[in-house]
Structure formats: C-alpha cells, structure tokens
Amino acid sequence: MISVVLIGYGYWGKILANQLNKTKNINFIGIVEKNKKTILIFKKKFPNKKAYSKLDDFLKYEKKIDAAIVATNFKYLYQTTNKLLKKGIHCLVEKPVSKSLFEIYKLNKIAKMKNLICMPGYIFLHNDAIKYIKKILNNKLLGNLRIITFERTNLGPIREDLNSIWDLASHDISILNYLVGRNVNIKNTFSKSFLKKNVSDYAVINFALGEKIFGFIHCSWLNPKKERKITIVGDKKMLVWNDMNITKPITIYDKGVYKKEVKVENFKQYKNYLYSGKEFSPVIKSKTPLENEILSFLKAIKNKNKNYIDMNFASSVTKILKKI
C-alpha cells in the first residue's frame, strides 16, 4: 500500500481525488489546499481524510508519505515539487511542470540523486487509443506520413495562470512527440486574446517534421463545441482519432490518391485518381487515461515500470512550447 497526498483541490484536483480514493493499493491520506472554503468542500465529501492548508504543516506532522500528486496553480508547481522531492517523496506533477528548462532539469536531478520518481502529468500519453495509434505508426500501416492535424476546443475551462497554448496545445505537442518522436519545427503561430490581455484564448500553430510531414494544432477554450481530434494522412491509408466518440475513438480509412500513367497523343502523362475502400474501427478495451497514469506512477515507484514518462520528456515538450 502506497500512501499518497494530493496537493491542490481545484478543478483537476477534484477529479484526481475521486480517482485516488478508488484506486487499489493506494492509501489516499488527504490534501493540502490553501483555500479554507475549498477544504470544507473536500471534508464534506471525504470526512475521513486529512486536510492541511499549508504544505509545511503537512510535512511537519505527516511522516509516512510515499508519494504526492501536485496539482496546484501553475506558478506553484515547481516550488512545491522541489520541496516534496527534497523530503524524499515521489511526485507526479501536472503538466507543463515549468516554463523553465533549468527548473525541470533541477527536479530531474534531485529525483535521481534521491532515487525518486518525478513524473510529468501528460495524461493523453496514457490513453489506450493513443497507444494503439503508436503501434499503427510503428508498423507503417498508413505508409509514409504526410499530414498530422490536431483539434482541441471547448467552452472552458478558462485559465488565467496559463494561456491556451501552454494549457491545451501542450497536450497535443506531447502526443506528437510520443507518436512520431522527431524534432518539431514550429513554422508560425497565430493567437488571439479576447478575455484577458496577453492570455491567448485561441491559437493555430503550424509545424513541420523534417521536410515531408506537415500539420497544425488548433486550440481554444472559447468554442461552442468540444473537440479532441487527430487526423493523420499517410500515402497508403488515413486515420482519425476522435476522443468524443466513446465506442469508436479510432477509424482507419482505406482512402487516398494514386497516380496512373496515361497516354495522350503519344505522350506519357500521369493523372491523380482517388480511391476509397473500407473503413475499420478497432475495438479498444481500455481503462480511463487517469487510472492508467496513476497506475503507471505506482508501478514506477515499485520499480516495475522502467519506461515511465519522465522529466526528460517534459523537457522536450517545454522546448517546443518555448519556440511558439
């Protein structure tokens, strides 16, 4: 049984608490939350769990803590994780961890020195459908890739500590890194702030992978429709991931264009022909990405997961975000 504390009980913290409370092999101790009204809400739902308003008080009185999930406001993620690691506590810290590569490097260094796990919370890398797509691409079932596009929109939740790029597009950049594993070259970005000055609510990011793969990321929390979609176009087949489609999140299309040689007045020419074959939607039996993420964290702590998402991966995502 691993004892876990949750740091932060905001929008995402509430979802985390529910999952921690029902995950096997976890002793969910309680929370650290500076807002006393929020603590009352937590205690009403979890009367048998502990709640502290100050991290220092928690560290002073609770001595048997194995791990922490850090889900504070973005500006406190680094300093909170730093303090916990120095106390010998494994950490799962919400993305994007930090805008500073040095800070991420420092957390990684402390974790290694103390033989601890410090894992960034890029939750979509624990989505079983995304893992399935990774296998598809590794086996080159789509052929040579040409286009990859991402759509991530909704009406809210609206953040003031991060803009839409760092909050929303960071998910898609993490997926792109995971699926393709190449250096992402940001070509150009258009973003706009409507609700708060210098905090973009909407952005379109155009990128390239080498000289043959192109795409864009569209993200916005100011949109009437919730979309989480990836479209991948290969020269053999095409694929669409739609996270809003619970029963069939992935569809593989046997569609494309082929060139055929034709003769016109004794001259050879090539014409493009469209073809459209069958569609295929694999059955993917899965747990929720959040459950998978927490289980991956637990296995890493128990030394049963050597390939967990680590701070080196967090650095790779932050490097790209800083170029936007």
Q: What is the CATH number of the domain that holds 272?
A: 3.30.360.10
Same domain, 48 and 81: yes
Same domain, 215 and 267: yes
Same domain, 245 and 157: yes
Total length of the chain? 324
Asked if the structure places residue 226 within a domain, the reply is yes
Asked if the structure places residue 49 within a domain, the reply is yes
Both structure tokens of 134: 């990774």
Q: Is 44 exposed, middle or buried (0-12, 13-18, 19+ CB in 10 A)?
A: exposed
257 vs 313: which has the higher pLDDT: 313
The C-alpha angle 136, 142, 148, rounded to 5 degrees, equals 90
Locate the DSSP E strands across the chain: 2-7, 26-32, 50-52, 67-70, 90-94, 118-121, 145-155, 185-192, 202-209, 213-220, 222-234, 238-242, 250-264, 267-280
Dump pLDDT digits (tens) for 287-305.
Answer: 899 999 999 999 999 988 8
Asked if the structure places residue 221 within a domain, the reply is yes
pLDDT of residue 42: 98
Dump pLDDT digits (tens) for 144-180.
Answer: 999 999 999 999 999 989 999 999 999 999 999 999 9
pLDDT of residue 165: 98
For position 93, which CATH number holds?
A: 3.40.50.720
Boundary residue ending a domain (122, 152, 169):
122
Same domain, 111 and 137: no
Lowest mean pLDDT among 8-12, 68-72, 269-273, 314-318: 269-273
Boundary residue ending a domain (122, 140, 159):
122
* Cα 18 to chain centroid, rounded: 19
Same domain, 96 and 153: no
Average pLDDT over residues 83-104: 98
Asked if the structure places residue 311 within a domain, the reply is no
Both structure tokens of 97: 């961890």
* Cα 266 to chain centroid, rounded: 56
d(CA 16, CA 50): 15
Same domain, 48 and 62: yes
Same domain, 60 and 208: no
Show the domain range for 232. Answer: 128-285
Asked if the structure places residue 310 within a domain, the reply is no
Same domain, 162 and 214: yes
Q: How many domains, the chain?
A: 2
Same domain, 62 and 81: yes
pLDDT of residue 142: 97
pLDDT of residue 261: 72
The candidate with the shortest Cα–Cα distance to 119, out of 299, 320, 321, 319, is 299
Asked if the structure places residue 295 within a domain, the reply is no
pLDDT of residue 100: 98
pLDDT of residue 286: 82
pLDDT band at 258 (very low <50, low <70, confident <90, very high): confident
Asked if the structure places residue 302 within a domain, the reply is no
Dump pLDDT digits (tens) for 169-228.
Answer: 999 999 999 999 878 999 999 999 999 999 999 999 999 999 999 999 999 999 999 999
**What percent of the chain lies above the pLDDT cut of 90?**
89
Boundary residue ending a domain (106, 122, 138):
122
Same domain, 281 and 133: yes
Same domain, 74 and 152: no
Asked if the structure places residue 300 within a domain, the reply is no
Same domain, 150 and 274: yes
